[in-house]
Amino acid sequence: MSPVLDAKETKKALTNSQEDSFRNLEVSKNYVEKMSLRFPELHDTLVDNWEWLFLNAVTSSATGAFYEAIEPLDEIKSPAFSEVRKGVIDKIIAFKSLNENWDGYGAYPLEVKSTSSAIQFILLLNDRIVEKISDVYPTPNGTVSLVWENDANERLALEIGNNTLSYYVVLNSQKPLFFNAIEINVKNAYTISTFIKSLQRN
């Protein structure tokens, strides 16, 4: 695998206020290289976007922000990958190109931590659930939304933020359900997957 980043070149991109964090660059680079080995299907994505992840974390003024942003990936034990799953992750990271006010109404650019949380959530779902995603899009709040829907206009839509997610479920057989500030973990991913399977059966 090719080197992730030339630390000397990256240092040139750092502002004076970021110089104190430069000593963490090499450690961070090694961490991403380790993650690339664990998730070979994400190697190119991690390599191509490592500088963005690190520099955005640094500008958030939190010394450990970089690790807080991508460390959740280290908790995923054995992800299953498909081309569709990788495509969804690539699409989420592609939202990084959005600037301040990208929608013309004061929208925020994608939060680096929201990016990591969205990837973490995608890795918790099985391939069949991921393949049924109807839409993936950024929100004006700097978060990521995922939508599943069927031909009967039933849907599950969720919004993933820095640390939690919120979602709602619309099924024709019951009143809409709303869930806010839900932790991103295996248990909640399973619950959400159960709702999504209901959409597929109807």
Using left for φ > 0, alpha for ψ between -120 and 50, and beta otherwise, residue 166 falls in: beta
16-52 residue pLDDT tens = 444 444 445 555 566 666 666 666 666 666 666 655 5
189 in a structural domain: yes
More confident residue, 196 or 126: 196
By CB neighbour count within 10 A (0-12 exposed, 13-18 middle, 19+ buried), where does 158 fall? buried
149 in a structural domain: yes
116 in a structural domain: yes
d(CA 37, CA 43): 7
168-190 residue pLDDT tens = 999 999 999 999 999 998 889 99
63-88 residue pLDDT tens = 344 455 455 554 444 444 567 888 89
78 in a structural domain: no
Task: Look over the chain and give the mean of its residue pLDDT values, rounded to a whole number.
Answer: 75
Give the residue-averaged pLDDT of 129-136.
94
Is 0.85 surpassed by the pTM of this model? no
Q: Which domain holds residue 194?
A: 111-202
pLDDT at 41: 63
17 in a structural domain: no
80 in a structural domain: no
5 in a structural domain: no
81 in a structural domain: no
What's the number of domains the chain is made of? 1
Helix axes 112-124, 43-59, angle to 10 degrees: 140
